[in-house]
Amino acid sequence: MARVRTFIAVDLAAGVRDRLIAVQDKLGGSSAGVKWVAGPNMHLTLLFLGEVGELEVVDICRVVQGRAGRHEPFTLEVAGLGAFPNERRPKILWAGIADGAKPLKALHAELEDGLLELGCYRREDREYTPHLTLGRLTHDERTADWGAALAKNKDWHGGISPVDEVLVMASELRRDGPRYSVMGRAPLGQRVSGGHL
Q: What is the pLDDT of residue 191?
A: 67
Q: What is the pLDDT of residue 106?
A: 96
Q: How far is CA 190 from CA 44, 98, 102, 166, in A?
A: 21, 26, 20, 12
Is the separation of the CB atoms in 99 and 76 below 8 Å?
yes
Q: What residues are labeled active site?
A: 43, 131
Residues of the chain whose pLDDT is less than 70? 1, 29-32, 140-144, 191-197
Is the separation of the CB atoms in 91 and 141 below 8 Å?
no
Q: What is the pTM of this model?
A: 0.87
Mean pLDDT of all residues belonging to the chain: 88
Name the amino acid, one letter, at 52: V
